[in-house]
Amino acid sequence: MKQVIVILALVALATGALAGDPIKQTDPVDYTFDTPSRIQLTGALSEDSPIWHRWRPNDYQAVSVDCMLPMEYEYSVDPAYDFYCFEVSDTEPVEFVVDDAEFDTVVYIYCDPFDPALPTENAVIFDDDDGDGLQSAIQLSDNVTLQPGNEYWFVICSYWEGQYGTYSVMTSDNVALCGGVANEASDWSSIKGLFD
């Protein structure tokens, strides 16, 4: 297993180098699912996607279930992003694991309201590479315990601006999209109008 992980890390580094990107430190830890997954969020980032100016906390392990994650580091890029409104059915930790993506993903959870023009406000957690290779994962061990009855926002974007492609994200079984939207293989482009 360690050999596989090392190979994945080397491939990821080589891919970045070939693409002309600065070498980015990756977390080589693979994700695990400890609870049955339910929702699969699938979509794509393209030149037509909205862009935002993203930030992150200095502490990569920081979590604020009280919506006050300190967003201290300002990136110099404006990547494309998608966002999903969701609710939780219990106070168990949530999972959002990128299981497939054509780009280097970064994910966030925000409390409601999420305003992409105010990216430092209302954040709960940020993750870059805790999944497979350059893919992101919010895992049970992050202990993101949210409140039933409140609305939250899951944001997925690319690390670099100008990175596009398809993605798939699996969630834990206590996550549902706002408004009772069908939760199997939901396509963002077909459902976003329901809560814009």
Between 87 and 104, CB nearer to Ca ion:
104
Contact call for residues 29 and 96 (beta carbons, < 8 A): no
Residue 163: closest CA among 107, 108, 103, 100: 103
Please, what is the minimum distance in Å from the beta carbon of residue 27 to Ca ion?
Answer: 9
Between 145 and 168, CB nearer to Ca ion:
168
Please, what is the minimum distance in Å from the beta carbon of residue 169 to Ca ion?
Answer: 13
Between 25 and 58, CB nearer to Ca ion:
25
Contact call for residues 168 and 41 (beta carbons, < 8 A): yes
- Checking phi first, is residue 193 left (phi over 0); if not, alpha (psi -120 to 50) or beta? alpha
Residues that bind Ca ion (CB under 5 A): 104-105, 128-129, 134
Please, what is the minimum distance in Å from the beta carbon of residue 183 to Ca ion?
Answer: 25
Integer Cα distance of 159 and 151 in angstroms: 25
Please, what is the minimum distance in Å from the beta carbon of residue 62 to Ca ion?
Answer: 17
Between 71 and 191, CB nearer to Ca ion:
71
Token output for 13: 């580094």
